[in-house]
Amino acid sequence: EVQLLESGGGQVQPGGSLRLSCAASGFAFSSYSMTWVRLSPGKGLEWVAVISGNSVDLDYADSVKGRFSISRDNSKSTLYLHMNSLSAEDTAVYYCASCSPHCLRGWFGPWGQGTLVTVSS
Amino acid sequence: DIQMTQSPSSLSASVGDRVTITCRASHIIGNYLNWYQHKPGKAPKLLIYAASSLQSGVPSRFSGSAFGTDFTLTISRLQPEDFATYYCQESTGSPYRFGQGTKLEIK
């Protein structure tokens, strides 16, 4: 069974940093592109970042470009999201998802349960 | 960027009803359109991929269709477990835009 388990969320002050992790199991992790998507209070789903299976291809939403960094460790079947210069607008539940196996012209799924990031002083 | 306009934003219906949710793309996206279901506190779930293909394990009362840049998700006979928020998403590339969501509530 495919499982994705996010961790690392919490409360952080504006301007702070946080690293999210997504532990994957039940599939050939290195063969799949992976992505992060967030759900902000009162808003809908927003795509954040994507990484190819070999980490060669990366892409980010304009809203996080230059502040967030996506990476993966295929030896640990783990996906990461490094978040810097956080602001209140980054407050959201962050979900990781695998792609099909590519996000481009594909689909997202399965998804993890999410980890909550709250940016507040 | 491609914009996705999803309607309605909310919908009240009864168990057994047939409901339709619509998503319109601002540009031609072929069939690169997916539908997801999301319940509070749960992982979003892929329902339909490539506009009309039913994801494995999803009940057959869910269906998707496309006509040009207009896409629809239909639930033929609502069940109690179907009350959730539904999102469309285009996958032609970054920024993989989602629709605004449709909250389906019990009437």
A50 reaches B (C-beta below 8 A): yes
A97 in B contact zone (CB under 8 Å): yes
Report the pLDDT value the prediction gives residue A43, as an integer from 0 to 100: 85
Yes or no, beta carbons of A45 and B44 under 8 Å apart: yes
Sign of CA dihedral A103, A109, A110, A116: positive
Q: Which residue has the tokens 């997801």?
A: B36
**Nearest residue to A68 (alpha-carbon basis) of A46, A36, A103:** A36
For strands A10-12 and A108-111, give the pairing. Answer: unpaired
Per-residue pLDDT of chain A (121 residues; tens, 9 = 90+): 999 999 999 999 999 999 999 999 999 999 999 999 999 988 899 999 999 999 999 999 999 999 999 999 999 999 999 999 999 999 999 999 999 889 999 999 999 999 999 999 9
Q: What is the pLDDT of residues B43-74, one digit of tens each?
A: 999 999 999 999 999 999 999 999 999 999 99
Tell me the nearest-neighbour CA distance from A30 into chain B, angstroms. Answer: 21
Taking CB atoms and an 8 Å cutoff, what residues of chain B touch A37? 44
Nearest to A103 among B42, B96, B101 (CB): B96
Which ranges of chain B have pLDDT less than 50?
none
Q: Which residue bears the tokens 């309605």?
A: B8
SS3 for B99? coil
Chain A residues whose beta carbon lies within 8 Å of the beta carbon of residue B99: 44
Measure the CA–CA gap between A35 and B48, rounded to whole angstroms: 18
Residue A113 to residue B98, Cβ atoms within 8 A: no
Q: How many other C-beta atoms lie within 10 A of the C-beta of residue A68?
A: 21
Cα-trace Rg, chain B? 13
SS3 B5: strand
**Looking at the partner chain, which of B32, B41, B43 has a beta carbon nearest the beta carbon of A105?**
B32
CB pairs under 8 A between A and B: 74
Question: Measured between alpha carbons, how far apart are the two ends of chain B, in Å?
Answer: 36
Cα(B62)–Cα(A15) distance, rounded to whole angstroms?
44
What are the structure tokens assigned to B70, written together? 């207009």
Which residues from A are below 8 Å from B92, CB to CB?
A: 104-105
